[in-house]
């Protein structure tokens, strides 16, 4: 489609309509009245409609002029926003990564898993936390670039997503100062008497923990179960009880939460997966994430 008029013509018309007459418009524009009048007539000729009509000592909009004015208002409002939009675009990060994090995944582990991409110049990270199945649906609709989870995606021919292992970490038991000595005494049988916090069954590692208790012949004294791993650590560190956590995050657990390791959870590991919508990952940051630290 060809445009038979210039935006300069439209702008002069817009100013005339705003000012209500040619003289005031010419004064605002710093131009001769004849020049402004000629530009407006050229616009009317190009559009095939009269846009202005005499009204007292000034001018008023015709029906066509009203329609043209509504469009011109939108055009020039957008034009006024253009410099700010360009400033924002020029100053905005160049690399965007939309990440989904399963609510069962330990948040301290997420931060460590994300280390390969966190120093990317111009990174803009959008992080969403949700239930595992909901995140897979968002990923399949290409609303997320990658999902971090504690399990691979299930086999489903209708769900075209692909799982990539990021490794695993053995679990250990950690205690706040109030329960440290009691938990260490006769560990792991002490877990039958000291208060224990566990992830709920929606976490993949919960089944392995229950099996570990069965192997040890221990009936744990469970006082709390949490879907959110960060809440579990927060309540545990405040003195509520002893809890399991990946040894991968031992240093940060000790420094941030003030808890101490009281014993291993032999044979139980937390697994980490990155799930993408394409078998061949195209997003450069997801590729870096899969490569892992130092690769």
pTM above the 0.85 mark? Answer: no
Instruction: Give the pLDDT confidence score for residue 2 in this predicted structure.
Output: 46
Structure tokens at 36: 């402004």
Q: For 139-148, 180-189, 190-199, 240-249, which range has the lowest pLDDT when averaged over its residues? A: 139-148
Instruction: Give the pLDDT confidence score for residue 220 in this predicted structure.
Output: 97
Task: Kindly state whether residues 113 and 81 are assigned to the same domain.
Answer: no
Task: Kindly state whether residues 128 and 221 are assigned to the same domain.
Answer: no
Task: Kindly state whether residues 162 and 192 are assigned to the same domain.
Answer: no
pLDDT tens per residue across span 121-132: 888 899 999 989
Please determine, for residue 1, whether its predicted confidence score (pLDDT) is greater than 60: no
- Domain boundary, last residue among 45, 61, 91: 91
Please determine, for residue 175, whether its predicted confidence score (pLDDT) is greater than 90: yes
Instruction: Give the pLDDT confidence score for residue 229 in this predicted structure.
Output: 87
Say if CB 257 and CB 237 are below 8 A apart: yes
Say if CB 145 and CB 98 are below 8 A apart: yes
- Give the CATH number, domain containing residue 202: 3.40.190.10
Say if CB 248 and CB 119 are below 8 A apart: no
Starting at the edge strand found earlier in the chain, the sheet holding 243-246 runs 123-130, 95-102, 146-149, 260-276, 162-175, 243-246
Instruction: Give the pLDDT confidence score for residue 146 in this predicted structure.
Output: 93
Q: What is the mean pLDDT of residues 200-225?
A: 95
Please determine, for residue 56, whether its predicted confidence score (pLDDT) is greater than 70: yes
Task: Kindly state whether residues 197 and 143 are assigned to the same domain.
Answer: no
pLDDT tens per residue across span 251-275: 999 999 999 999 999 999 999 999 9
Tell me if 1 is assigned to some domain.
no
Instruction: Give the pLDDT confidence score for residue 85 in this predicted structure.
Output: 67
Task: Kindly state whether residues 161 and 183 are assigned to the same domain.
Answer: no
Is residue 23 exposed (0-12), middle (13-18) or buried (19+ Cβ within 10 Å)?
Answer: middle
Number of domains in the chain: 3
Instruction: Give the pLDDT confidence score for residue 177 in this predicted structure.
Output: 96
């Amino acid at each position: 489609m060809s445009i038979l008029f210039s935006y300069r013509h439209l702008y002069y018309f817009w100013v005339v309509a705003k000012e209500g007459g040619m003289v005031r418009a010419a004064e605002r524009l710093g131009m001769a009245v004849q020049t402004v009048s000629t530009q407006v007539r050229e616009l009317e000729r190009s559009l095939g409609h009269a846009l202005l009509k005499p009204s007292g000592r000034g001018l008023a909009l015709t029906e066509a002029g009203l329609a043209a004015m509504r469009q011109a208002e939108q055009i020039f409002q957008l034009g006024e926003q253009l410099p700010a939009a360009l400033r924002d675009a020029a100053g905005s990060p160049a690399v965007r990564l939309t990440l989904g994090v399963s609510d069962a995944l330990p948040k301290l582990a997420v931060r460590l898993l994300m280390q390969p991409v966190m120093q990317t110049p111009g990174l803009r990270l959008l992080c969403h936390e949700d239930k595992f199945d909901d995140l897979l649906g968002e990923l399949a609709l290409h609303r997320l670039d990658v999902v971090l989870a504690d399990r691979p995606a299930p086999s489903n021919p209708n769900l075209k997503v692909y799982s990539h292992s990021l490794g695993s970490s053995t679990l250990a038991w950690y205690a706040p100062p109030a329960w440290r000595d009691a938990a260490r005494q006769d560990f792991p049988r002490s877990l039958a008497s000291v208060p224990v916090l566990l992830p709920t069954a929606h976490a993949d590692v919960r089944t392995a923990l229950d099996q570990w208790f069965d192997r040890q012949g221990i009936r744990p004294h469970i006082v709390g179960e949490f879907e959110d791993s960060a809440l579990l650590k927060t309540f545990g560190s405040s003195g509520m009880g002893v809890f399991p956590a990946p040894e991968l995050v031992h240093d940060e657990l000790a420094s941030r939460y003030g808890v101490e390791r009281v014993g291993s959870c032999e044979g139980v590991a937390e697994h980490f997966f990155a799930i993408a919508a394409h078998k061949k990952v195209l997003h450069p940051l997801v590729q870096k994430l899969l490569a892992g630290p130092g690769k």
